[in-house]
Amino acid sequence: VMGVSPGNDMRYSDKKVEAARNFANKLWNACRFRQMQGDTSAHFRALPPEIAAELSGDERWMLAKLDAAIDSINTAIAEFRFHSAAHEVYDLVWSCFCDWFIEAEKVPMRAGGGEKERALAVLDYALYRILRLLHPFMPFITEELAHQMGFLSDGETIMFEPFPEDDGFRNADASDDLNHDKWVGIDGKFELVRAGRFLKASYNLPDGKKVKFFVKAVDAEALAFLEAEKASALSLLNAEAIEFTLADYDPAAHGAAPSQVCSLGTVYLPLADLIDIAAEKAKLEKQKKELAGWIAGTKARLGNEKFLAKAPANVVAEAKAQLASMEEKLARTDELLESLK
């Protein structure tokens, strides 16, 4: 359903089957993770006011994303754009729910007590809505998981459950000036986490390596928000420490540090004690020289009229794509070298 717009045919593809298999595994594993945390909450059909009033920023963000997706999916189905509806629910489950929300909820779950109870209730509420959204597209696995999770008894079926509608969580913070649209700021936190992970990957630092980050917030409001979300950011980045500040990064005090600019601030990764900076510079200089040579050779090849006249179109297109890729790598190498000064 996801790969085809109305009126078009689709070729069979093993890769599409594998992608669908991977998605089913992702959904199954999310449910298995939830089952490992304890019994199903009694509030999986509707969150009571006392829980809704205490939602964390991550929880408001997830429920707002869920409401937005539900509106979009219902509209797409009503207009017979089933491929659009399938894309919407796929992105919601894979990215928002599995990649971000479940990871973020591990912080309150580790805290225990009322925080864990609230986190599990929100997880169950979101997950049951997701299973009902997915049911028209994946009827068998959603039926199975709804029973395994305890959302349905043996004599019930998800086919007779109401299809989800917007529950109004997108405007939950409108009356609170201090936290107005706080759930929107969560996107900025996740952007910051992606930037920090990218910096670690740029220097081949393993995911499990504990590192320190320095973040210069764009303003005082962003700083206050980030401080409030510090436990979550530490967990998502698997960081040893994060310093949030309005001050500029001082290389003299902290050493060389590559950086990434985000909407909430600039993320720095101090490299002292993490890598051999001299050896890293030498490696990057060698890589830069090799890339420059490849780029020069490819440009000369593409500038040869005889080559362009005789070479098949796909060969020329491939050469142009390789040139663009190498130029992008060269630009990134220059950035990494600049960050080590």
Q: Is the Cβ–Cβ distance between 143 and 135 less than 8 Å?
A: yes
**pTM of the complete model:** 0.80
pLDDT tens for each residue of 21-74: 999 999 999 999 999 999 999 999 999 999 999 999 999 999 999 999 999 999
As beta bridge partners, residue 214 has 243, 268
What confidence score (pLDDT) does residue 77 get?
94
pLDDT tens for each residue of 265-291: 999 998 887 766 777 778 878 888 888
Q: Which of 17-21, 210-214, 247-251, 264-268 has the lowest mean pLDDT?
A: 247-251
Phi, psi of 107 (to 5 degrees): -65, -55
- pLDDT beyond 70 at 159: yes
How far apart are the C-alpha atoms of 247 and 265, rounded to whole Å?
11
Q: Which two tokens stand for residue 128?
A: 């049951």
Q: How confident is the model at residue 179 (pLDDT cuts 50, 70, 90)?
A: very low
How far apart are the C-alpha atoms of 44 and 48, rounded to whole Å?
10
Q: How confident is the model at residue 184 (pLDDT cuts 50, 70, 90)?
A: low
- pLDDT beyond 70 at 181: no
Question: What Å distances lie between residue 317 and 310, 313, 322, CA to CA?
Answer: 13, 6, 9
- pLDDT beyond 60 at 174: no
Residues 6+ apart with CB under 8 A from 80: 6
- What's the whole-number average pLDDT of the chain? 89
Q: How confident is the model at residue 328 (pLDDT cuts 50, 70, 90)?
A: confident
**Continuous segment of H or E residues that includes residue 37:** none
